[in-house]
Structure 1
Amino acid sequence: MRILDPDSDKLVTVTLDPETIISIDPDEVHERRIAVYDLVDENAFAPTNGASGPFALHLSIQGNHLVLDVRNPETNEPIAAHFLSLTPMRHMIRDYFRIRDSYYDAIKSAQPMQIEAVDMGRRGLHNDAAEMLRERLKGKLEMDLNTARRLFTLICAVQPYADRSISIAHKQPSVLFVCSMNSVRSPMAAALARKYFPSELIARSAGVRSGQVDRFVHDVMEEIGIDMSVHTPHTMDELVATSFDLIVTLSEEAPAAVDAKDYEAGARLHWDVADPTLEEGNREQRLDAYRALREDLSKRIKAELPAILTDAQPNGSQTH
């Protein structure tokens, strides 16, 4: 067992995948934010592969699995990843919500002894769930009991999206945007596709290789109301899905890389768009280059995606 160093073996950031953990319900969003805040505020956490911290944790949902993706918070380089099946935890998650609701009802009208009894049951469930979580992550991720308790709370906050993401995946067309490093062009395109076609498609993005978070992307997307702070660059090797209704490549090396993966695609597009990272001017000139890319992608997405998605066949190979 790894002895956790309180100065370095800890999470300094936790992000949630906007492609699979989605909600506009204010209560759900609030509960998620509190769970993330509590986990980051106090924790002891490290992968068992000996990597030095601190660490960043990115959570996403793939089918009935929660993906715990541990990365370097400065360089975004992958450190460890674990697929956690939610099935064995379903009964504890159901009990968590049942006891939580009972506790909230009790504090409104019950006597102190009743409140204490419900609270003891709540703490006992949390401890049991935390121990189960630590056991299931044994040999992968190391954490103390309190961190496991907070992580279980966050899992409960995002778990309802597992079944929802499965049902959505069968009904909505899927689009994969691919560029060189999944730092600028492909994540911007995926975010814009979700903005212009909300609840109409599943938009994912990936890179030929992994890059770093680009703050200029955050700035120019925030100007149009899109929060990119949750984006974590990923490579195609990290994708679980291998079949898409549409694949859009956005860099010179992306088409060959997609060919090498032998994905199933109903249609393929290649958009020759500018790389704003090549702009060497001052800050405002560089931001303008990113804004130009944003507008170019917006026009292409609104003009070309609807017809292509309508025509795309899951087992076809239409290229435009």
Structure 2
Amino acid sequence: MQPPARPAETDRLVTVTLDPNTITSINPDEVHEWRIAIYDLLEDNCFRPARVTATGPFALHMSIVGNFIVLDVRHPETFQPIAAHYLSLTPFRRLIRDYFRIRDAYYEAIRSAQPFQIETVDMARRGMHNEAAELLRTRLDNKLVIDLNTARRLFTLICAVQPYASRIDEATSELPSVLFVCSMNSVRSPIAAALARQAFPGRIIARSVGVNGGKADQFVHAVMEEIGIDMSVHTPHILDELVANRFDLVITLSDDATEAVTRKGLEAGAVEHWTTADPSLAEGSREVVLGAYRELRDSLRKRVRNRLEPLVSGGSQIH
């Protein structure tokens, strides 16, 4: 199962993002653990999808649906889908429990144990990681080609995110749902959806898409980080990727989005358009541009809270 030798610049992951609808936490320590696991995976990995002709490097978008981790491989610049695989968590349950048990024992040993005790715990930790990595490679055989070191790091990331999965089944959930749509799903709609999730954690399903595919926007990352929202986990999606077809409320944030939503034929309790400026068109110094992004963020923050409060509270979606 050793992957064949190929150019390192193509057979690797350069971006890992997490689905904020199914992997949720407002605890900064938990988010920090995700970031460390992602950083370690990206620092050193060998990764490519099997049975496809796409050339890397690659982006990996992770979500949790029911009892499955979804490993969605995409182009790192355009975020166009390449291959997606559902990985059942059931075979990993014991190993995930062992991961946290041994991790806690290792941290405790570092604080108070003798060197030989630390070494014993560390050996157990390495053994568990190797077992998990081999199982992961076996389960992904003929789907993803990864080496042992990458499998170890990917398992660590799975352990880091899965305890905080919301596992909301959108097909049967009674939570109100809102969809934000803009041109590229890079700035306006992801900011609005993230603000909705922050304002009403666990009380609403908020998704965002674009008419066309966009790219990650570093100014979005910067201004959302200021209010405690990590947007580095966001992957741009387009309307055609939507699985759900029914929303309580659809809000368009760009002129082309309104027409695209009509063409898509979504079922919605209400559809409304919010006129919003695109801060990516702002010109000037970095501070001037950041100011435009902050203005959008703050105006959307107030509007999202005021508009969605009655929806979340069980009122009508008609405004």
Residues 94 and 242 (structure 1 numbering): CA distance in 2 closer, same or farther, change over 3 Å?
farther
Aligned residue for 1:37?
39
Whole-angstrom distance in 2 between the partners of 1:291 and 1:113: 53
Whole-angstrom distance in 2 between the partners of 1:255 and 1:171: 26
Residues 118 and 226 (structure 1 numbering): CA distance in 2 closer, same or farther, change over 3 Å?
closer
Asked whether 1:88 is paired with 2:88, we answer no
Q: Structure 1 residue 155: deviation in Å? A: 0.5
Equivalent position to 2:127, from 115, 118, 124 = 124
Aligned residue for 1:212?
215
Whole-angstrom distance in 1 between the partners of 2:223 and 2:115: 52
Whole-angstrom distance in 2 between the partners of 1:78 and 1:160: 26
Residues 106 and 196 (structure 1 numbering): CA distance in 2 closer, same or farther, change over 3 Å?
closer
Q: Where do residues 277-292 of structure 1 align in structure 2 (5 Å cutoff)?
A: 277-279=280-282, 281-283=283-285, 286-292=289-295
Aligned residue for 2:180?
177
Aligned residue for 1:79?
82
Q: Where do residues 6-155 of structure 1 align in structure 2 (5 Å cutoff)?
A: 6-48=8-50, 49-105=52-108, 116-155=119-158
| Unpaired runs of at least 5, structure 1 | none
Query: Deviations for 1:237-256, whole angstroms, at most 9, x for unmatched residues?
Result: 33444443322122233344
SS in 2 for 1:126: helix
2:15–2:76 Cα contact (<8 Å) kept: yes
Whole-angstrom distance in 2 between the partners of 1:10 and 1:61: 22
Whole-angstrom distance in 2 between the partners of 1:115 and 1:218: 39
Asked whether 1:300 is paired with 2:295, we answer no
Whole-angstrom distance in 1 between the partners of 2:122 and 2:291: 55
The amino acid across from 2:92 in the alignment is M
SS in 1 for 2:168: helix
The amino acid across from 2:102 in the alignment is I
Greater relative CO (CA pairs within 8 A, separation 6+):
2
Asked whether 1:191 is paired with 2:194, we answer yes
Residues 108 and 218 (structure 1 numbering): CA distance in 2 closer, same or farther, change over 3 Å?
closer
The amino acid across from 1:42 in the alignment is D
Query: Deviations for 1:226-245, whole angstroms, at most 9, x for unmatched residues?
Result: 44333221123334444433
Q: Structure 1 residue 106: deviation in Å? A: 5.1
Residues 219 and 27 (structure 1 numbering): CA distance in 2 closer, same or farther, change over 3 Å?
closer
Query: Deviations for 1:93-142, whole angstroms, at most 9, x for unmatched residues?
Result: 12322333344455566666665554443323222221221122222221
1:245–1:312 Cα contact (<8 Å) kept: no
Residues 108 and 214 (structure 1 numbering): CA distance in 2 closer, same or farther, change over 3 Å?
closer
Whole-angstrom distance in 2 between the partners of 1:229 and 1:133: 25
1:62–1:240 Cα contact (<8 Å) kept: no
The amino acid across from 2:90 in the alignment is T
Superposition TM-score, scaled by structure 2 size: 0.82
Equivalent position to 1:228, from 226, 231, 247 = 231
Which deviates the most, 2-11 or 141-150?
2-11
Which deviates the most, 150-159 or 229-238?
229-238
Whole-angstrom distance in 2 between the partners of 1:73 and 1:253: 25
SS in 2 for 1:14: strand
Whole-angstrom distance in 1 between the partners of 2:211 and 2:142: 30
Superposition TM-score, scaled by structure 1 size: 0.82
Query: Deviations for 1:161-215, whole angstroms, at most 9, x for unmatched residues?
Result: 23x3338994643322111210121011112223333443232211122111223
Residues 103 and 287 (structure 1 numbering): CA distance in 2 closer, same or farther, change over 3 Å?
closer
May I ask how many residue pairs the two structures share in their alignment?
Answer: 314
1:4–1:46 Cα contact (<8 Å) kept: no
| Unpaired runs of at least 5, structure 2 | none
Whole-angstrom distance in 1 between the partners of 2:55 and 2:38: 22
SS in 2 for 1:204: strand
Whole-angstrom distance in 2 between the partners of 1:79 and 1:30: 28
Whole-angstrom distance in 1 between the partners of 2:220 and 2:118: 48
The amino acid across from 1:8 in the alignment is T
1:68–1:82 Cα contact (<8 Å) kept: yes
SS in 1 for 2:61: strand
Which deviates the most, 48-57 or 24-33?
24-33
Query: Deviations for 1:265-313, whole angstroms, at most 9, x for unmatched residues?
Result: 343322232334445x434665554444334423421332212444567
Q: Structure 1 residue 222: deviation in Å? A: 4.3
